[in-house]
Structure 1
Amino acid sequence: MACRISELVLGCRNPEVLAKFWCEVLDFVVLGREDDGTVEIGPREGFGGPQPTIILSRRDEPEKGKSRLHIDVNATDCSQEAELERLLALGARPADIGQTGKESWFVLADPEGNEFCLLRTRLDPL
C-alpha cells in the first residue's frame, strides 16, 4: 500500500489573490469556497485526480520562519524562458535564496512571497 498527495494546504493572508494567481499559473479552477475565506483550487476534474488540489487557508499572521516546503512547476507548452516571462507578468517576482546564476531553474515568489521554482524540463500536460 502507498499514499498519494491529494491536497496541499497553504496558509496565506489573502486566499482570493493567491487563488487567482495559482489558477493562472497552473490552469486550475476554483473548486470551492468556505465561509472562513478558505479557497480550494485544482484541476477541472476536481479532487481525486492525478494532480493534488491546493487549499488556500486564511491566516492573519504568516508562519514564523522560512517555509520548509515549496512548489516546483514546469512549463507544458512553451520554453522555460517564455514561461518565466508569463509568470512574471502574472505577478511572480524573482527570489534570491543564494543562487549562483548557473542553476537550471529559476526561483520565484508568488504575490505573498511564497517561494517556488520554475524547472527547465518541459512536461506533457495531463
Structure 2
Amino acid sequence: MACRISELVLDCADPERLAAFWSEVLGYVELDRDVDGAIEIGPPGAGPSDGRPTLVLSPSGDPKAAKLPLHIDVSPTDRDQDAELERLLALGARPADVGQTGTESWHVLADPEGNAFCLLRSRVHPA
C-alpha cells in the first residue's frame, strides 16, 4: 500500500485572490469552498478519488516569516516559455530574486502574495 499526494495546502492572507490567480495559471476551477474560507481548486471534473492533486488556499492571519520551503514549478502546455512568461506576468506574477545567476533555463516568479514559483522551459502535455 502506498500514499499519493491528494492536496497541496497553501496558507494565505487572501484565498479569493490566490484561488483566482492559480486557477488562471493552471487552468483549474473552484471545486469546493469551506465555511472557514478555504477554497479548493483543481482540474475541471477532479474528484477526491481520481488521483489528480488539488490546491487548497487556506486563510491564515499568520505573517509569512521567510520563503516557503516548498515551491511550485509550472511548465507551459500550449506555448513557448517566453509567451507563457508574458501571460503569467499579465496575470499578476512578478519576477523574484532567490539568488539565481541569470543563466538558468527557468524563470523565478512570485504569486500575488509573494510565494515563489518557477516557470520551466520544457513544454508538457495538458493533463
- TM-score, normalised to structure 2's length? 0.94
Tell me how far 1:35 sits from its aligned partner: 1.3
Q: Which runs of 5+ in 1 are unaligned?
A: none
Deviations 1:34-59 (A, max 9, x none): 11111000011223334310010000
Q: Does 1:78 align with 2:108?
A: no
Q: How does 1:30-109 map to 2 (within 5 A)?
A: 30-47=30-47, 48-109=49-110
Q: Distance in 2 between matches of 1:50 and 1:86?
A: 28
Q: Distance in 1 between matches of 2:51 and 2:120?
A: 20
Deviations 1:1-45 (A, max 9, x none): 322111000000000000000000000000011111110000112
Note if contact 2:73-2:119 (Cα within 8 Å) is conserved in structure 1.
Answer: yes
Q: Distance in 2 between matches of 1:50 and 1:65?
A: 31
Aligned to 1:9: 9
Paired letter, 2:15: P
Paired letter, 1:6: S
- TM-score, normalised to structure 1's length? 0.95
Q: Distance in 1 between matches of 2:39 and 2:94?
A: 23
- The percentage of aligned residue pairs carrying the same residue is 63
- Secondary structure (helix, strand or coil) at the match of 1:88 reads helix
Q: Distance in 1 between matches of 2:31 and 2:15?
A: 13
Q: Distance in 2 between matches of 1:28 and 1:73?
A: 13
Aligned length: 126
Tell me how far 1:71 sits from its aligned partner: 0.2
- Secondary structure (helix, strand or coil) at the match of 1:107 reads strand
Q: How does 1:14-29 map to 2 (within 5 A)?
A: 14-29=14-29
Deviations 1:92-116 (A, max 9, x none): 0000011111000000000000000
Q: Distance in 1 between matches of 2:69 and 2:19?
A: 21
Q: Distance in 1 between matches of 2:46 and 2:77?
A: 20
